Amino acid sequence: MKCEKFSSVLRTAIFVASALVLSPTTAFSKGNPTCEPNPLFNAFPNSFLDGCSRSRFATLDIERWKDMEKKRDIETFNVEGEYWYYFDLIENDAKGMPPGKLEIQRNYVKAVQAAKGTVLHLDDNKGLTYHIRRNDGEFWGYAGCGRGGANDCTAIMHKIIRAAPMEQSVVMNSKQIAKSIIDEGKAVFYGLYFDTDKSVLKPESAPTLTEIAK
């Protein structure tokens, strides 16, 4: 009898522990099936993805303190690259209570710090901007309460950019190149790509090179 009770308790403990380390895919299974998992964060407890958007290239305004040590004075700059947007709805807990805005903010501050990232700014609405560098890229973003009252929060908003230059898809055709040379004595090309500090052309330069050859 004691063995059966111990086995039951052990199974319950294993279930609870595994629930606390859900993968992003599992955590968002209740939400919008068209949304892919957040590339940086697991879901906040009792939350699920309601909406999302994705872009190969976009720009995001980021606020940061000019004086990071004293956390004062703010400047804004923009970062360009691959873009994710998420809007996660939060259900009340077992006591019927939503999390507070400060709770949301501190959770993401600690998550950024755990990833050895940098918190760039904390705003009055208890949101934060951050920078995280990983092997798969350099991420900049905003996380904070997207809906709620003065202190509570019923939704979380994420805006994330993985910094990268835009890939030029449209190139001048051979006739326009010839016209530019005749009219102006030169032609300017935006579809030639090199790796940083290297002189070898990358494969994506092929469309422009083909038109130059013509």
> Cα–Cα distance between 158 and 192 in angstroms, integer?
34
Give the residue ranges of DSSP H helices in the chain.
2-19, 24-27, 101-114, 174-184, 206-213
Model confidence pLDDT, tens digit, residues 11-58: 544 443 333 333 444 444 477 888 999 999 999 999 999 999 999 999
Q: Which single residue is written with the structure tokens 């959770």?
A: 107
Model confidence pLDDT, tens digit, residues 169-182: 877 777 877 877 88
Q: Per-domain residue ranges for the chain?
A: 22-163, 174-213
| Predicted pLDDT of residue 120 | 98
With a CB cutoff of 8 Å and minimum separation 6, the contacts of 6 are: none
Q: What is the pTM of this model?
A: 0.71
Tokens representing 202 are 């990358």
More confident residue, 140 or 124: 140
Q: Is 122 a residue whose pLDDT tops 70? A: yes
> Cα–Cα distance between 47 and 36 in angstroms, integer?
15
Q: Which of 94, 104, 116 is nearest to 44 (CA)?
A: 104
